[in-house]
A and B are shown apart, each in its own frame.
Chain A
Amino acid sequence: MKDVFRILIAPLVWFASFSAVYGLHGLMCGHEMSGVVFGLPLERAYLVAAYVCAIAVQMVLLVALYSSRIASPSPFVRFVSHATGWVGLIATIWSLVPVVFTTYCG
């Protein structure tokens, strides 16, 4: 079961973070907010912070999947879990990048 977990963890976390950021966006559009943080509107700052957190979690996962302490003893599972780890990271970066560029509630 641990090997299955190693393979699935990064995409699962991507799905959770994707849903969370989408939910956060919906929540903020449903309840008007005001304020500025580091020169950014509060909504944008929250979304970018969530984006950075999501990427950071994926990077930690990827490093963990490569570490000898956590990686699977099976070369095949190691390969697939590394691949899905990269999928999680790239999917997070790509699918959530609109938080940086796009209008948030327009």
Chain B
Amino acid sequence: MNALERHRKLTTIWASEKGFKGWFSTVNHTDLGRMFLVTAFFFFIIGGLLAMLIRVQLATPHSAFAGPEIYNQIFTMHGTIMMFLFAIPTFEGLAIYLLPKILGTRDLAFPRLTAYGYWCYAFGGSMMLIAMVFGIAPNGGWFMYPPLSSAIYSPGINTDFWLIGITFVEISAVAAAVEITVSILKYRAPGMSLDKMPIFAWYALITALMILTGFPPLILGSVLLEVERAFGFPFFQADLGGDSLLWQHLFWLFGHPEVYIIFLPAAGVISTILPVMCRTTLLGYGWIVAAALALAFLSFGLWVHHMFTTGIPHMGLAFFSAASTLVAVPTGVQIFAWIGTMWKGRPELRLPMLHLLGFFFTFVIGGLTGVMVAVVPFDWQAHDTAFITAHLHYVLFGGFVFPIFAGIYYWLPHVTGRRRFFRLGELAFALVFIGFHVTFLAMHWVGLLGQRRRIPTYAPEDGWTAINLISSVGSFVLAIGIGMILIDVILHVLTASRGRRNPWGAGTLEWAMPTPPLAYNFASLPHITSRDPLVDQPDLAVQLARGEGYLGTPRNTWRETLTVDIASGKPDMHVIYPSNTRLPILMSAVTGVFFVSLLLKFYWTVPVAVIGVTILVWRWVWGLGRGADLAPLPIGHGITLPNAGMTARSPGWWGSIFLLTANATFFGSLLFGFAFLWTVAPGWPPPVWFDPSMTELGAGLSGAIIGPIAMRLAKSVNSKGRSSITGATMSLFGAILVAVASAAMMWRTPSPVDHAYGATLFVLGGYGLFHAVLAMLMTSFLIARIVRGFTSAVRRAEFSIIGLWVDYTSVIGVLILLAAHLPGVLQ
């Protein structure tokens, strides 16, 4: 088969549907990455326009431009859009577009999940925009503190839009994080051991793991606040055993890592582009990986530094102040590694490099003001002033927007296959840089003079007029600069001439393919021997196009790739991807019905949506697996590999591990909330304790023991080629017992609207019931698969996956039942 025949056959197999219809059925990472990025930048423009409105309002004292109610919506939506609908999705889009290409594979681990995540993002984001158009947008600030955001002080639907819309969008973030984690760990080119991974992949991996552990506390907080608003469960009401500080803990447990979730991908972009712009290699690769890991972990120990003024004891403040100063060290390691890279290379001031220099200048200032506010006495003075607003913009614009602009200009030739023709970009950079610093240096100043953040107006005698006017003028210069970048990019896409492959002379794998990229990325998969494959093998692209790598001969109509051992990069599984389908968009639409029903309080449609999602998920997974055993398949170079469905640790198992990691963080946050209210909130002990029942406790614990044991038995019997229906049925029985015990707990818990104790137990019971029902559905699915002949001694992947969920249900079931029954027993 020659290169052209191979290309034609692969294109037939991998191509998305042509035209407009293809948007709705594509599961291809290149398409979805582009869709994510375009949508994210659409939201960036909306968020930017809102920022302009804020600056118009503050340009003069006693401004009549917008009243306080509209102004509250404007600044809330500005923050919300930039954090949730621009920054995180931009990372997701970039990672989804880029990772398979730089890792030397053909797609991400779960293509349909990528599509589902995109549509959840698009629908959830649209909900927020619709709210804004109708003047009912969220208005409590982007961190929605209760009691301001409670039903008493914010009775309208505005806050519900935030709580429900953001939770909907976060499905997308968690889906993408699972996808990215499994893809980086398993879906790499053969030979790409951990030390040969492109640096961007390390950053994306760390960021994805942070999303999995950082987002669940906010999802939990949003659920609890929405339940309080809708049903009156008093989680955050101090007079009924709740505590509004619990929200702050949950929010900032997410909110501080969020800053690094935004910065680290940008740091990955810098570490990728900088060496190319300096004609050298990255200095201190290992140190940078270690520093990024350290930064990720330390960022989870800083959340209270947003709460220094809440009256927490001095020692608590000191813990978080110390940890906050510590993050400067790994950040410094990265900055010095980048400076060292520039020092040893020959920097060329091309457009991406200009934006990188903009990053250095801006981010270092943002980092230094960060150290200032980490010092408690200074923070007490500067808290909730415009100084903080200026600091966070230096960190986020400097640490994310400049590097992303660098990334756009760097990878634009890859996306379009064209070279830049117009030269607006350089002028645009100058305007953005000058405009940004004028705007936010002034904002630091006016903050130190005492201007509070989020105020709708001020008086002339405050003495802030001239500074605010300067800041507003700067912001318009910044907006003109960003508008010019947009025009530059559009002109590039529409009019520029064809460019050559790898215009920057980079060493990473994304440039070893024709541009714009083909649906299948590589005609055959490379074998990697170094961190810069294109430097060591300049003709690699040609070799791959000739089919000299792995999987060079298309087989049947399969979309094939392979996975590797995490550490060594040795090939270990053969994977067949699903093809184009509208299932993801359909499922996200039905998921949307669930959220909109909650929002509009049409509770009768909630079960309809839940049943709809259940049916669609069932259909989704039923299409996986095979009805007959598949022998190990040759992948080229004399290697044969088992298909993923014939292994115990299939991609589904890996995906479940990381989804359960996020789930366990959610559950851990719920237990933390319970313990926090119990020990810190006023109004405890509750007037009535849960009445323990040895029957319910015994039944639940028995179910928790039976389920996992029976599943192991089923797995063992199956591996011997015998029928495993008995074991699977016993496992189902175990899950039913846990479900009954959890439901009984919810039924008998003290009134959840009278005290936070009852409310928390009700939610814990609900969590247990949800997982028990999930385990019941999964084991029922397994029984159906056994009956229909989808399992055998070789086809065993589903036992391992469902076993994980049964184990998890048992562990949380035991903890929930003990949390409910033990205090009553001990009274």
Contact = CB atoms under 8 A, between A and B. Distances in A.
A59 interface: no
B364 interface: no
Interface in A33-47: 47
Interface string B174-193: 00000000000100000001
Given A80-B289, A87-B294, A26 B323 contact: no
Interface stretch (B268-276, B313-321, B794-802): B313-321
A48 B138 CA distance: 45
A103 B322 contact: no
A94 B326 contact: yes
A52 to B, nearest CB: 16
Interface in B500-544: none
B194 interface: yes
Given A30-B679, A76-B286, A104 B313 contact: yes
A12 interface: yes
Interface in A1-46: 1-4, 7-8, 11-12, 14-15, 18, 21-23, 25-27, 29-31
A98 B193 CA distance: 41
Interface string B294-328: 10011011000000000001111011001100100
Nearest to A8: B293
Interface in B673-718: 675-676, 679-680
A76 B322 CA distance: 30
B336 interface: no
Contacts of A83: 286-287, 290, 294
B566 interface: yes
Contact of A74 (B194, B290, B300): B194
Place the interface of chain B in its size category: 20 to 34
A76 B202 CA distance: 13
A94 B316 contact: no
Interface string B554-572: 0000000000001110000
A32 to B, nearest CB: 13
A21 B297 CA distance: 17
A106 B318 CA distance: 12
B195 interface: yes
Interface string B239-275: 0000000000000000000000000000000000000
B316 A15 contact: no
A99 interface: yes
Contacts of B300: 15
A97 B315 CA distance: 10
A93 B790 CA distance: 54
Given A3-B567, A98-B319, A87 B313 contact: no
A78 to B, nearest CB: 10
Nearest to B294: A87
Contacts of B294: 11, 83-84, 87, 91
B286 A25 contact: no
B290 A80 contact: yes
A25 B313 contact: yes
Contacts of A97: 322
Nearest to B291: A83
Contacts of B675: 23
A102 interface: yes
Contact of B297 (A14, A72, A77, A96): A14
Nearest to B657: A1
B193 to A, nearest CB: 7
Nearest to B567: A3
Given A3-B567, A91-B326, A74 B319 contact: no
Nearest to A83: B290
B562 to A, nearest CB: 18
Nearest to B196: A76
B11 to A, nearest CB: 36
Interface in A55-106: 72, 74-77, 79-80, 83-84, 87, 90-91, 94-99, 101-106
A74 B315 CA distance: 41
Contacts of B298: 11, 87, 91
Given A84-B294, A91-B326, A104 B315 contact: yes
A29 B315 CA distance: 11
A15 B326 CA distance: 14
A96 B315 CA distance: 9
B150 to A, nearest CB: 24
B323 A95 contact: yes
A15 B665 CA distance: 13
A11 B297 contact: yes
B402 to A, nearest CB: 27
Interface in B159-209: 185, 193-195
Contacts of B195: 74-77
Nearest to B295: A87
A23 B293 CA distance: 24
B289 A102 contact: no
A96 B679 CA distance: 21
Contacts of A94: 322-323, 326
A25 B290 contact: no
Given A29-B313, A91-B323, A98 B318 contact: yes
Contact of A98 (B289, B322, B326): B322
Contacts of A77: 194-195, 567
B316 A25 contact: yes
B194 A27 contact: no
Contacts of A91: 294, 297-298, 301, 323, 326
B225 to A, nearest CB: 22
A30 B297 contact: no
B32 to A, nearest CB: 27
B579 to A, nearest CB: 30
A82 B193 CA distance: 18
Contacts of A25: 313, 315-316, 319
B19 to A, nearest CB: 43
A26 B677 CA distance: 11
A48 B330 CA distance: 27
A95 to B, nearest CB: 4
Nearest to A25: B315
Contacts of A26: 316, 676, 679-680
B566 A1 contact: yes
29 contacts: A1-B566, A4-B566, A11-B298, A18-B323, A22-B316, A23-B675, A25-B315, A47-B315, A74-B193, A74-B568, A76-B194, A79-B286, A79-B290, A80-B290, A84-B290, A84-B294, A87-B290, A91-B298, A91-B323, A95-B326, A98-B319, A98-B322, A99-B315, A101-B318, A104-B313, A104-B314, A104-B315, A106-B313, A106-B314
Given A3-B567, A80-B286, 6 more contacts: A3-B566, A7-B293, A83-B287, A91-B298, A98-B318, A98-B319
